[in-house]
Amino acid sequence: MWLLLKLTSCSISLLVPGRAGLLGIFEKPVASYTIMDSLDRDQQYRRRKEVLDWLRCADPTVKHHESRELHQSGSNHWVLELDQFKAWRNTTGQSLWLHGIPGAGKTSRFLSSIPLLPRQGSESEIDPLARNEVMCSTIIHHIEEYCKTTPGSRLAYYYFNFGDQVAQKLDTVLRCLIGQLCEYDEYLPEATWQLYEACNNGRKRPSDQVLADTLFNLLIQDPTRRSFLIVDALDECPFEARKHFFELIIDRIEQHQKATPRCYNFLFTSRNEPDIESRMTRLGVKLHNVTIDPVCVDEDIRLHVAHFISNHRTMKDWPQNLKAEIEETIAGGADGM
């Protein structure tokens, strides 16, 4: 019996004689070892950090931590109690689209129209409190805790931001999602290593198509491993880029889940824009389509306003009936904004 080693750019395979192949002598691999397997632990850690640094062109945790700081205790928990949310979290291969809350601006403009309330830009800036991202940060925090109690589960998330051109680029989105998934593993997954090597060890920029292929390869490489991916404020992705996003992400979800239900779940939040609604409602797999109840949002706003007033150096000493009137006026006038 003789053995033959087959060397490729990414792996070494151990081959034994077989009937198929050139001269009828190969190929029947009995073992395959990646180049990463040949490196010692310190080398692997250095290479892992090198690749993750290359992928990390933006840090979504910054926006997430900012949103968590704006979160008022007791608010947004209604979304975690939705039957559709619980079904999405507990069942593999499903997607969820939460829509209905506009972006920042309307509530703050309403507040600034009320006499005696601090104007925008003051120490009490509350414009961000009405934004999707605070609610989304609640969901992300919940899934982070859920993953800690569910071995093997992992989470990746992204916040679109209309005011940040870099954050609107699809390659930024995809690289962030890939990088976050890889951080759960002690060693780099082979698909990520191949991406890095194909880009001349990070010297070249991968196409959006290649990045999307890598992302979904990571998601399906282990059919038993649960993955949660959350994308906030899809409406803040420019219209033309959204069409490409549908092709890269939504179309792949549809293709994969139609064939065989996978262990990854996507959640999207956005305004109810016509193009987003059209594509989401045509998704040929299980989608929880949830319109956010304005009453729930108004109650969240009431909590925020009450907290704001109770901590304001002047307003906290106002008569209780006046404070109650302000809370009611703002929450009622916001109308789910």
pLDDT in tens, 288-324: 999 988 777 777 777 777 777 887 888 888 888 887 8
Lowest mean pLDDT across 15-29, 85-99, 134-148, 287-301:
15-29
CA distance 57 to 168: 12
CB 131 within 8 Å of CB 104: yes
Read off the pLDDT band of 273 (50, 70, 90): very high
Lowest mean pLDDT across 28-37, 139-148, 238-247, 290-299:
28-37
| pLDDT computed for residue 36 by the predictor | 53
Identify the H or E element spanning 327.
helix 320-334
Give 248's DSSP letter: I
Give 103's DSSP letter: -
Average pLDDT, the chain: 79
Give the residue with greater pLDDT, 83 vs 100: 83
Residue 3 has pLDDT above 80, yes or no: no
Q: What is the DSSP string of 111-168?
A: HHTSTTSPPTTSTT--GGGGSHHHHHHHHHHHHHHHHHTSTT-EEEEEE--TT-TGGG
| pLDDT computed for residue 94 by the predictor | 93
Residue 336 has pLDDT above 70, yes or no: no
Residue 154 has pLDDT above 60, yes or no: yes
Residue 230 has pLDDT above 70, yes or no: yes
| pLDDT computed for residue 319 by the predictor | 85
| pLDDT computed for residue 70 by the predictor | 75
| pLDDT computed for residue 132 by the predictor | 65
Structure tokens of 63?
């926006």
- The arithmetic mean of pLDDT across residues 228-240, rounded, is 94
Give the residue with greater pLDDT, 288 vs 127: 288
Each residue of 44-61: pLDDT tens digit?
888 899 999 999 888 888
- The arithmetic mean of pLDDT across residues 257-275, rounded, is 88
CB 107 within 8 Å of CB 128: no
Each residue of 161-211: pLDDT tens digit?
888 888 889 999 999 999 999 999 988 999 999 999 999 999 999 999 999
Residue 128 has pLDDT above 60, yes or no: no
Structure tokens of 253?
């979800």
CA distance 133 to 271: 12
| pLDDT winner (highest mean) among 5-14, 40-49, 71-80 | 40-49
User: Percentage of the chain surpassing pLDDT 70?
Assistant: 77
Kindly tell me the burial class for residue 242, based on how many C-beta atoms sit within 10 Å of its own C-beta (0-12, 13-18, 19 or more): buried
| pLDDT computed for residue 40 by the predictor | 76
| pLDDT computed for residue 315 by the predictor | 83
Give the residue with greater pLDDT, 26 vs 154: 154
Q: Where in the chain is the domain with CATH 3.40.50.300?
A: 59-296
| pLDDT computed for residue 39 by the predictor | 60
CA distance 6 to 332: 71
Query: How, if at all, do strands 227-232 and 154-159 pair?
Result: parallel
Which of helix, strand or coil describes residue 30? strand
Residues in the chain: 337
**pTM of the complete model:** 0.76
- Cα 140–chain centre separation: 8
- The arithmetic mean of pLDDT across residues 22-36, rounded, is 42
User: Which amino acid does the sequence have at 208?
Assistant: D
CATH 3.40.50.300 is the classification of domain 59-296:
yes
